[in-house]
Structure 1
Amino acid sequence: MIKRILTHNFSLLNVDAVKLDFRWNYKNVVSPYHRIYYIAGGEGEISHFEKKLKLESGYLYIIPSFTLCNLVCSGSLDQYFVQFFGESSDGISLFAENRSIFKVPAMEIDILNFKRLLLINPGRGINRSDDPKIYEKDVFYQEYQELNHQQNTAQFLETQGILLQLMARFSGPEIITQRERQQIPVKILDTISHIVVSLHLPLSVTSLAARIHQNSEYFSRLFQQYTGSRPLAYITERRIERAQYLIMTSNAKYADIAQQTGFENLSHFSRTFKKITGMSPGEYKKKHSAQT
Structure 2
Amino acid sequence: MDPLRKHFVSDAALPVELVLRNTKNLQAELPDHLHDWFEIIYVHNGAGSIFINHAFYEMEEGDLYLIPGNTIHKTMPDPDQPITSSALFFNGQLVQTSAAALKDAFSFLQCFETAKLNRSYKLELLPAERTRLEELLDELQEEFASKQPGYKQAIVLLLQTILLRMNRKINPGAQKHTHSESRPHWLQNALNDIDSHLVQDISLSTLASRAAVSPSYFSRMFKQLTGLNVMEYIIAKRIIYAKELLTETDGTVAEIAAACGFESLPHFYRMFKKFAGSTPARYKRNE
- TM class, shorter-length: 0.3 to 0.5
Q: Which has the higher contact order (CA 8 A, sep 6+)?
A: 1
Per the normalisation by structure 1, the TM-score is 0.46
Name the one with the larger strand percent: 1
Per the normalisation by structure 2, the TM-score is 0.47
